[in-house]
Amino acid sequence: MLLLFVGEGRLLPSGAIREERRGMRGLVRGIQALVLMMVLIATPLLGCAQSSTPDTYRIGVIGSQTGPYSALGLPAIDGGRLVAEQINDAGGIHGREIELIFYDDKGSSTETALAAQRAIDVDKVLAVACVSATGLSHSMIAVVNDNEIPGLIMSGTGLVDDKLGHWAFKPTSSEKDYIPLPLRYLRDDLSLSTCAGLIENSGYGEGGEYFLRQIAGDHGIDMVMFQYFDPGATDLTPQLANINASDAESIFIWGSGPAGALAVKQSREMGITLPIVTTPAQGSPSYVQSFGRYYEMEPSLVCLDSKLTMWEQLPSDDPDREMCREFHQSFKARYGRFPDMWEAIGAQFVMFIADGIERADPDLADAIVARGQLRDAFETTTDLSLFMGTHTMTPDDHYGRVVHKEVLVTFKDGKKVLVKTMED
Amino acid sequence: MEFSTVLQSLLSGLTLGCIYAALGLGLYVVYGVTRVLNLAQGEFVMLGGMITVSLSAFGVPLFPAILLAVAIVSLTGAILYRFIIFPARHASGSTLAFLTVGFAFAVKGLTLLVWGWEYRTLTSFLGSPSIHLWGATIFGQAPWVVGMTILMVAGLYYFFGRTMLGRALRACADEPLGAKTIGISPARMGLLAFVIAAALGAVAGATITPLTMTAYNVGIPLTIKGLLAAFVGGMHRAEGVILGGLLLGLTEALSAGLMPSGYHDAIALSILLVVFLARPRGLLPAHANIED
Amino acid sequence: MAAVEVTDGITVEAGRARTRRRVLVGVGLAVVFTLPFWAGAYPVSIATMIGFHSILALGLVLLTGLAGQVSLGQAMFYGMGAYISALLTVRVGLPSWPSIFLAAAATGIIAAGVGFVILRLRGIIVAGVTLTVNLIFYYLIMSMGSVTGGATGMIGIPRLVYPGNLPYTAFIFLLVWLVVLALLVFSRNVVNSRSGRALRVLNVLSGGSEDTAQVLGINTMKYKVSAFVVAAVFASIGGSLYAHYTRVIEPSTFHVQLSVIVAIMVIVGGVTTPWGAVIGATVMICITEILRAVAPIVLGGPTGAYELVAYGVVLVATLLFLPEGVYSLPKRLKRRRRASR
């Protein structure tokens, strides 16, 4: 745009200017800068020209396509996209297709809020879903409540569960509900009583630390020490040396970025043989591919994971086995790789929305009415079985009651092996 | 405080310091010759790592892979100079710096398109094993990183001090006008500086990847670290930049090890800031012949 | 604004130019300040963001354009305004209006202290130091979790209370642009005042020199620190308004990244005039929005990577073809015409 405009001034042959009438010149000159500004301002507004009654269920999906959290946003987008395609191939909902519109939050909360506003106002979506880092997704809470539109947020922390307002929903897991699983593993399976936390400096890490401090004692584990690292840290040996020198019998690594995976590698290279349990991100395929050798060193790493990735090893009577198998295989067929945690979360956001639309049958002729209908349907979500949990919500609780489906896995001979489920 | 923690922090700081120093050296070469603050230096490092990883995955042996990566990244550096910096060479310093920022954005986006978002890594060179020493650990790759930085310094000293081309470059940096009158083309020297910086970046990228992993978005954080190293050490002397890098690495690692709290990043930077304010012209006195 | 070059018939030309300029400014003001009443919520939210960035960029122009100091710390003062105001309302329970002014005062005092320490330095070094201070600020609010909410941020910051039944977004929009207008007027007055002349003498970027200024008996520190404090106070007011607008703040908003973007805006718009700040903020934010609107239509699916490439290309192209900023565009075209006449 800018290029074209700048180019114009250069390309005009001088003769053409000479023929211009003198009086015109002043006007042309004065308008130059204004035109540029107008073009720049007008173009985004052109998007406003959308038809008034959309023939699809439009959903805005805001995620990190670039920036520090793209390793979580891009997979989630893939997962959501697959579910939408499956629904549409099967004839859509109430005869209409689901249309996902993707926005990049660029790892910034200002951009997240702007993208949400664009989805609501220009693309006239029915609902927005934010598949982004914990801190960023919080900036959506005010936007969706102001604009009175149902919005899903992917916050990984339970610290906001009571601050969602009338329009924000959180169909995902809060750490306080699944922390007991790895703690029980340390206590029951390994007969340990002390643990050191290695915590990422992020919203996700903070939630983890908060709830570890709160409830570890209830599960018979004494958190003797906390160490911290930057999400972009490349050398965690000082922190690991401190942990090694303490009387902790195990390590809990809490983080969503690559540094958490590096910590596992570096601790094994340092010859630290304490059992390590971690949050799900460290089990992502790309880290397993890079560091599998270290993950398998005794005692092998134990990682929180989802039933989705482990469906083959679930007992044949597990109610979620079939759902996970189906998604796992279609995902591989569509993208040529296997889905993981973030893919599962992206997928379950779209499933949650589809379930709401199914029950609400929103009247798309009036966007305001439709949004209200969808919100009411979300509030009455009952026993909806998704990949990470089974969700039940009420008008007073937009996180609701969640029956968790997290599992613990470990790594053996290049494979993930199921260790423990929530039911065990 | 355990002795092993202190030793581990020192070793970790030394390795980190060498990484930051390598980054800073790339900035120093470009700034010295062209007075451009090249904020795309981290992207050269990132590209060097990504290309080496990909070539290795295709079965190319390590050292040819690194050489090929250096060639490709040097070409990128040449493109940056010839098509972006050279046409704007008379613009202000901040305009030139932000031109390199624009280039960095574009490189980052293209890398994301080509390679995707996944983090990648290499095994340590020649499979060198970790060394355990009085309760602390030296990773197998760490000696390679330290060696690379030492080689870089030695190479730059030899090049600038002993070769015709290097002396011409230095002349261009010290006395642009005088250099021109005796027939040294500043444009050609600028191109050379960018190519050298890109090549240094690529080598650094390949060498640190086994230690730190690489991905499309590691460039800007690395640039910031390199900048801090160069500022603290003083942009006008290579030794200063190296000292600055080591200081940054050591304060980071020591504060992470000895002050185990979320505050360690803030503490490390504050120490750096105090040192800087005490010695705003760099840790070392300037050469007499370099204008400041 | 742009001085009319000396030609024959200078007075007529100048008079016409002045009238034209007044009409343009009048129309511009009318368009901007009635925007919430005819445009949709989305354009208003973009324009509000342009306003916030203009405030930051205007402060930087004051500093860079007049005092010749390049700062990469604007995001920090923005963050101070946001966090102090949020803390006073959420944790202390003060009403929101006074907290904005308390935040501005506190930021001003901190900025004076920081300014006295770092403005003794000269040139590009100042950019490096402000960048470091900004990073320290970022890590501090990340780490002080019990006070600032850490990386999770602060949620539930109250709205500003105001009379009448204007929608809140429209109210914030008008408020932000009033601050922009106030800053513009202030900047113009400073440029034409005694301190403005003093500042220009010591502006290294446009050929002045601190040594000259000192010889002339100008207390350079006083002027530089004042410019620094004014930029910080306005950034703080902007930050407080931002906090009460989004009602959620988290540290990554106030990372060095924003300081760099603000500096890019100033360079793209033009360093030499306050208008450059507003133009730069408008151009850069609109480019992002255009890419956001166009890319999905052309490419479909996630388009973030393409946007990154396009943003880089546009930035480079703008700086290459308009090194003095978009503000200089009409003048350049005019000069080109003159040359070809």
Q: Is A179 helix (H, G, I), strand (E, B) or coil?
A: coil
Tracing tokens 């479909």 back to the chain, one arrives at C300
Put simply, the answer to whether B256 touches A287 (Cβ < 8 Å) is: no
Neighbours of chain B (3+ CB pairs under 8 A): A, C
Mean pLDDT over B58-62 rounds to 89
CB-based contact B144:B124 (threshold 8 Å): yes
Tell which wins on pLDDT, B122 or A12: B122
The verdict on A205 and A289 lying in the same domain is yes
pLDDT (0 to 100) of residue A5? 30
Confirm whether A319 is domain-assigned: no
The verdict on A169 and A182 lying in the same domain is no
Q: Find chain A residues with C-beta within 8 A of C156's C-beta.
A: 163
Burial class of residue A317 (count of CB atoms within 10 Å of its CB; 0-12, 13-18, 19+)? exposed
Q: Find chain B residues with C-beta within 8 A of A226's C-beta.
A: 260
Q: Does C287 touch chain B (CB under 8 A)?
A: no
Put simply, the answer to whether B231 touches C125 (Cβ < 8 Å) is: yes
Closest-CA distance, B282 to chain C, in angstroms, reads 10
Mean pLDDT by 10 residues, chain A (424 residues): 30 35 44 54 50 78 84 88 93 91 85 86 89 82 89 80 87 84 89 91 83 88 90 87 90 88 90 90 84 88 88 85 90 88 90 93 88 92 88 88 86 86 78
Q: Which amino acid is at A305?
A: D
pLDDT (0 to 100) of residue A39? 56
CB-based contact C267:A22 (threshold 8 Å): no
The verdict on A95 and A141 lying in the same domain is yes
pLDDT (0 to 100) of residue A53? 66
Closest-CA distance, A191 to chain C, in angstroms, reads 33
Closest-CA distance, C305 to chain B, in angstroms, reads 5
Beta strand ranges found along A170-326 (DSSP E)? 194-200, 222-229, 251-254, 276-278, 302-305
Q: Find chain B residues with C-beta within 8 A of A230's C-beta.
A: 265
Instruction: Determine the residue among B20, B108, B137 to mutate to test chain A binding: the one whose Cβ has the most chain A Cβ atoms within 10 Å.
Output: B137
The single-letter DSSP state of residue C65 is I
Tracing tokens 């290097």 back to the chain, one arrives at B166
B181-200 confidence digits (pLDDT tens): 777 788 888 898 999 999 99
Confirm whether A35 is domain-assigned: no
B124-181 confidence digits (pLDDT tens): 887 778 888 887 888 888 999 999 999 998 998 888 888 888 888 878 777 777 777 7
Q: Does A170 touch chain C (CB under 8 A)?
A: no
pLDDT (0 to 100) of residue C206? 54
Nearest to A237 among B118, B137, B264 (CB): B137
pLDDT (0 to 100) of residue C67? 66
Closest by CA position to A419, among listed A263, A275, A217, A267: A275
**Cα–Cα distance between A285 and B128 in angstroms, integer?**
25
C196-231 confidence digits (pLDDT tens): 666 666 555 555 566 666 666 666 777 788 888 989
pLDDT band per the 50, 70, 90 thresholds, residue C4: very low
pLDDT (0 to 100) of residue A198? 93
Comparing alpha-carbon positions, the chain C residue that sits nearest to B111 is C305
Q: Find chain B residues with C-beta within 8 A of C133's C-beta.
A: 273
Confirm whether A189 is domain-assigned: yes
Range of the domain at A90: 56-174+328-402
The single-letter DSSP state of residue A130 is E
The total of structural domains in chain A comes to 2
C5-44 confidence digits (pLDDT tens): 444 555 667 777 778 777 887 887 887 787 877 777 788 8
Q: Which amino acid is at C257?
A: Q
Comparing alpha-carbon positions, the chain B residue that sits nearest to A107 is B217
Q: Is the pLDDT of residue B47 over 90?
A: yes
Q: What is the pTM of this model?
A: 0.84
Nearest to C124 among B93, B95, B101 (CB): B93
Put simply, the answer to whether C320 touches B84 (Cβ < 8 Å) is: yes
Tell which wins on pLDDT, B213 or C307: B213
The verdict on A113 and A224 lying in the same domain is no
pLDDT (0 to 100) of residue A19? 37
Put simply, the answer to whether C152 touches A2 (Cβ < 8 Å) is: no
Q: Where are the domains of chain C?
A: 41-256
Put simply, the answer to whether C263 touches B106 (Cβ < 8 Å) is: no
Instruction: Determine the residue among C147, C258, C292 to mutate to test chain A binding: the one whose Cβ has the most chain A Cβ atoms within 10 Å.
Output: C292
Confirm whether A135 is domain-assigned: yes
The single-letter DSSP state of residue C218 is -
Q: Find chain B residues with C-beta within 8 A of C140's C-beta.
A: 263, 266
Q: What are phi and psi of A252, to 5 degrees?
A: -115, 110
Q: Is the pLDDT of residue C83 over 80?
A: yes
Q: Find the length of chain B.
A: 292
Q: Which residues pair with B132 in a beta bridge?
A: B137
**Cα–Cα distance between A284 and C180 in angstroms, integer?**
47
- R_g of chain C computed on alpha carbons: 21
Q: Find chain A residues with C-beta within 8 A of C292's C-beta.
A: 44, 103-104, 115, 118
CB-based contact C203:C224 (threshold 8 Å): no
For chain C, the straight-line distance linking the first and the last C-alpha, in angstroms and rounded, comes to 25
**Cα–Cα distance between B137 and A244 in angstroms, integer?**
12
Comparing alpha-carbon positions, the chain B residue that sits nearest to C64 is B94
C149-189 confidence digits (pLDDT tens): 888 788 888 888 888 888 888 899 999 999 999 988 888 78
Closest by CA position to B47, among listed B79, B87, B15, B21: B79
Q: Find chain A residues with C-beta within 8 A of B117's C-beta.
A: 70-71, 74
Q: Where are the domains of chain B?
A: 7-126+140-152+185-278
Burial class of residue A261 (count of CB atoms within 10 Å of its CB; 0-12, 13-18, 19+)? buried
pLDDT (0 to 100) of residue A278? 93
Closest by CA position to C157, among listed C103, C226, C216: C103
Q: Does A122 touch chain C (CB under 8 A)?
A: yes
Q: Does C256 touch chain B (CB under 8 A)?
A: yes
Closest-CA distance, C20 to chain A, in angstroms, reads 7
The verdict on A184 and A300 lying in the same domain is yes
Neighbours of chain A (3+ CB pairs under 8 A): B, C
The neighbour count for residue A53, using CB atoms within 10 Å, is 11
Comparing alpha-carbon positions, the chain A residue that sits nearest to B53 is A290
Put simply, the answer to whether C319 touches B113 (Cβ < 8 Å) is: no
Q: Is the pLDDT of residue C148 over 50?
A: yes
Q: Does A206 touch chain C (CB under 8 A)?
A: yes
Confirm whether A153 is domain-assigned: yes
Mean pLDDT over B24-49 rounds to 91
Closest-CA distance, A232 to chain B, in angstroms, reads 8
Put simply, the answer to whether C308 touches B108 (Cβ < 8 Å) is: yes
Burial class of residue C94 (count of CB atoms within 10 Å of its CB; 0-12, 13-18, 19+)? middle
ipTM of the complex: 0.85
Q: Does C322 touch chain B (CB under 8 A)?
A: no
Q: Does C311 touch chain B (CB under 8 A)?
A: yes
For residue A222, give the CATH number of its domain.
3.40.50.2300
Closest-CA distance, B150 to chain A, in angstroms, reads 20
Closest by CA position to A343, among listed A405, A424, A285: A285
Put simply, the answer to whether C40 touches A122 (Cβ < 8 Å) is: yes
Confirm whether A219 is domain-assigned: yes
pLDDT (0 to 100) of residue A48? 47
Q: Is the peptide bond before A280 cis (omega within 30 degrees of 0)?
A: no
CB-based contact A208:A279 (threshold 8 Å): yes
Closest by CA position to C54, among listed C227, C276, C224: C276
**DSSP notation for C272-337:** TSHHHHHHHHHHHHHHHHHHHHHHHHHH-S--HHHHHHHHHHHHHHHHHH-TT-GGGHHHHHHHHH
Cβ-based neighbours of B141, under 8 Å, separated by 6 or more: B124, B125, B128, B207, B208, B210, B211
Closest-CA distance, C131 to chain A, in angstroms, reads 18
Comparing alpha-carbon positions, the chain A residue that sits nearest to C43 is A45
Put simply, the answer to whether A235 touches B12 (Cβ < 8 Å) is: yes
Burial class of residue C92 (count of CB atoms within 10 Å of its CB; 0-12, 13-18, 19+)? exposed
* Cα distances (angstroms) measured from residue C236 to each of A262, C11, C232: 39, 43, 6
